[in-house]
Amino acid sequence: MKYFKIKINGKEVKVKQGQTVLEVARENGINIPALCYHPDLKIKANCRLCIVEIKGKKGVHTSCSTHVEPDMEIITDSDVIKGIRKTNLELIASEHKEECGDCIKQFDCTILKLSKECDVELNRFEDRKKNKKSLKFGPSVEFDASKCIDCRNCIEVCNKQSVGFFELQEKNGMKEVVPTKDKDHDCIYCGQCILHCPVGAIEAMGEFKEVEEPLQQKDKTVVFQFAPSIRTSIGEEFGMDYGEVVTDHIVGAIKALGVKHVFDTSVGADFTTYEEAKEYVENLESGCLPCISSCCPSWVKFIEFNYPEFIPHIATTRSPQIILGGLIKTYWAEKMKIDPKNIVVVSVMPCTAKKYEIRRKENKVRGMNPVDQVLTTRELAFLLKHHKIDLKKIKPVSADNPLGVSSGAGVIYGASGGVAESVLRTACSLAGNKNPKIDFEEVRGMEEIKVAKVNICGKSVKMAVINGIGAARRVLEEMKKDPCKYDGLEVMACPGGCVGGGGQPIPTTAEIRKKRAESLYSIDKKKKLRTAHENPIVKEIYEKYLTDEKKIKEVCHTSYRKKKREVKI
């Protein structure tokens, strides 16, 4: 790698050949504003806020698309730059209808922050899109076209996900981002468009009213559960380090809202692991392969819509939030002598698709939805800030028994490969392997495709872990030609798994996803209990409650079906 020196604002810095001016500036703590830039995506230079001047070159240049050269001298904050940047931001604001009062980004809005820094009059130009309508994609995602600045990030990331739900449409001589009307493409609610939208034009469907109202009703028992990945991400919303573990802070903050019962969805993950491992071993013995993971609702919908021929191979085991919700409204309700109809279960999830999952009829338990409402990580952070609850300062509190203590296997569900590793730990034990392996490092990491070769039931098994829907499509196409290519598949729709979910804090980048995942594995490593089937609460509930196949199927299993396009435009 070739290194050389350049100057930024008179400061000499060492750079690598191939870096952009924006990358170098950010590495050296020099702030250059940029809206359309995201390290996951290609450089577009659409917003033109990241302009700089370069000595010896005329005009201004976008720092995101300008690569460093030896002895380059760069100015980032001249009067000329400030004037152009101010005008550009005012023009961007004319495409973005300001509704700050009820916007979830109001506590962390880039446009508002920049407008103060640049002394911008946001309403200088009339809103060009003020009459555009807001479109709802199922129960999960909302696209407010009146706020869209046409940066096209959503189109690129949706195509990268191999979903293709957004496209450009030309109208009155201008190109605008719109959801496609092509019936061969449907939203899978992964929310990656939300993570990569710089202005909050795409957001998860908020459920704040539905969550807060039951807290004021004496006849309602409100129970919260929080997903494994939340413990290493939500702290970022409160100025904490990327990947910082805040498990007990989450419980304390939720209880500060007036919630009496807080459980850990990682316990639900232990039940999911046990049931899916049983399925996996049975399928290996019967030869009904491949066995495909099922706890990512975006992935499940992707198969149901695009590859229905693989539906018979999806594990029928329900996801951790659905199993835990079912146990809360059956086992726990009976234990506490509470009418389950008066229990309101709220999940805090890293995933916008979980809002869709809880409304699937196939997941009902005794005619009830196991989970009533879902808040994303960002939405819980917004709710806490709205109530002036600072997660960083809150007194840590442990999650409640009996559904508050999980194995390490339950915690790593939040990272790509975590489900596969958890299932392999238990499957090896159930199959009678001597000294069953605990650490399957070959399925960890951010690579798109990882493969583990394991001996189970005396057979050599190939388990593939797929990171992102784009890679999953490629693998499914390969398996249509070669059905025996893999014996098992774990697929997470979002890059990095749940740590990179569509409901996670913004920004979410490859480096941030990596730190969040590493923290989950560090929790697992420190746990005395690292396998799901050895969790005492799992054993107890199977011994005392899930005592027959009928109950197990009712609480722990579901079904799937071929689907037509659900989102109507």
- 124 pLDDT band, cuts 50/70/90, is confident
Residue type, 142: E
**Torsion angle in degrees (nearest 10) through CA of 94, 97, 99, 104:** -100
CATH of the domain at 49: 3.10.20.740
262/336 same-domain check = yes
- The pLDDT value given to residue 207: 84
Asked if the model's pLDDT at residue 102 lies above 80, the reply is no
Choose the final residue of a domain: 183, 205, 227: 205
User: At 174, is the pLDDT very low, low, confident or very high (cuts 50, 70, 90)?
Assistant: confident
**Strand ordering across the sheet containing 73-75:** 11-16, 3-8, 73-75, 51-54, 61-62
Q: In terms of domains, do 431 and 550 share one?
A: yes
Range of the domain at 150: 123-205
443 has pLDDT over 90? yes
- Whole-number pLDDT of residue 104: 76
Kindly state whether residue 512 falls inside one of the protein's structural domains.
yes
* 112-126, 136-150, 416-430, 520-534, range with the lowest pLDDT: 112-126
Indicate whether 89 belongs to any domain. Answer: no
- Please state, as a whole number, how many other Cβ atoms lie within 10 Å of the Cβ of residue 197: 25
Asked if residue 215 and residue 322 are part of one domain, the reply reads yes
End residue of a domain, out of 145, 171, 205: 205
DSSP at 67: B
| Cβ atoms 167, 193 nearer than 8 A | no
**Whole-model pTM?**
0.95
Residue 53's pLDDT is what? 98
In a domain, 38, yes or no: yes
Query: Which own/partner pairs from 354-357 qualify as long-range (CB within 8 Å, at least 24 positions apart)?
Result: 354/297, 354/319, 354/321, 354/503, 355/139, 355/140, 355/189, 355/204, 355/205, 355/207, 356/138, 356/139, 356/140, 356/189, 356/297, 356/301, 357/297, 357/319, 357/321, 357/322
Shared domain for 185 and 255, answered yes or no, is: no
Confidence band of 93 (pLDDT split at 50, 70, 90): confident
Highest mean pLDDT among 126-140, 328-342, 433-447: 328-342
Identify whether residues 41 and 157 lie together within a single domain. no
DSSP per-residue codes, 321-365: HHHHHHHIIIIIHHHHT--GGGEEEEEEES-STHHHHTT-GGG-B
Buried-state track 459-478, b at ≥16 Cβ within 10 A, e below 16: eebbbbbbbbbbbbbebbee
Q: Could you tell me if residue 422 is inside a domain? A: yes
User: How many distinct structural domains can be found in the chain?
Assistant: 3
Stretch 168-197: mean pLDDT, rounded? 93
Examine the domain organization and report whether 166 and 315 are in the same domain. Answer: no
Question: Model confidence over 357-403: pLDDT tens digits?
Answer: 999 999 999 999 999 999 999 999 999 999 999 999 999 999 999 99
Q: Domain for residue 83, yes or no?
A: no
Q: How confident is residue 187, by pLDDT bands cut at 50, 70 and 90?
A: very high
Of the chain, the percentage scoring pLDDT greater than 90 comes to 88
Q: What is the pLDDT of residue 108?
A: 80
The answer to whether 396 and 248 are in contact (CB under 8 A) is yes
Match 């209880």 to its residue by tokens. Answer: 255
What does the pLDDT read at residue 123?
A: 72
Alpha-carbon distance values, 45 to 125, 152, 259 (Å): 22, 11, 46
- Same structural domain for residues 40 and 155? no
Residue-level pLDDT at 107: 81
CATH of the domain at 147: 3.30.70.20
Say yes or no to pLDDT of 520 above 80: yes
Q: 411 and 381 in one domain?
A: yes
In this structure, the answer to whether residues 160 and 227 fall within a common structural domain is no
Residue 407 lies in a domain: yes
Is 464 a domain residue? Answer: yes
User: Is there a single domain that holds both residue 59 and residue 177?
Assistant: no
Average pLDDT over residues 134-144: 95
pLDDT of residue 202: 96
Among 77, 105, 131, the domain boundary falls at: 77
Mean pLDDT to the nearest integer, 276-282:
96
**128 pLDDT more than 80:** no
Residue 569 in this model has a pLDDT that exceeds 90: no
DSSP state of 519: H
Residues 234 and 337 reside in one and the same domain: yes
Q: How confident is the model at residue 111 (pLDDT cuts 50, 70, 90)?
A: confident
Q: What is the pLDDT of residue 1?
A: 80
- Give the pLDDT mean for 532-540: 98
Query: Between 115 and 379, whose confidence is greater?
Result: 379
Q: Please name which of 547, 550, 548, 535 lies closest in space to residue 272, comparing C-alpha atoms.
A: 535
Q: Is 36 among the domain residues? A: yes
The verdict on 160 and 214 lying in the same domain is no
- Residue located via tokens 């979830």: 104
